[in-house]
Amino acid sequence: MRDLFFKNLGLKVLALCLAIILWFLISGRGVSEITLEVPIEYINIPPGYEIVK
């Protein structure tokens, strides 16, 4: 069990550091938002039904 944690310790520490750096780079950008206008076409609406906005 001990070997599981300490084998390739340098690579594990490096991977952890890279993950933390990537986390801060991505989370520091703030919220991204994209607005798209997509037309909607209603088909096969049964008689008596009404589309309300």
- pLDDT of 20 reads 97
- pLDDT of 6 reads 86
* Residue 23, helix vs strand vs coil: helix
- pLDDT of 8 reads 93
Q: pLDDT per residue over 11-52, tens digit each?
A: 999 999 999 999 998 887 777 788 999 998 889 989 999 888
Match 């801060």 to its residue by tokens: 24
Helix (H) or strand (E) segment spanning residue 35: none
Closest by CA position to 4, among listed 12, 19, 18: 12
Distance CA 7, CA 53 (A): 61
Distance CA 38, CA 9 (A): 51
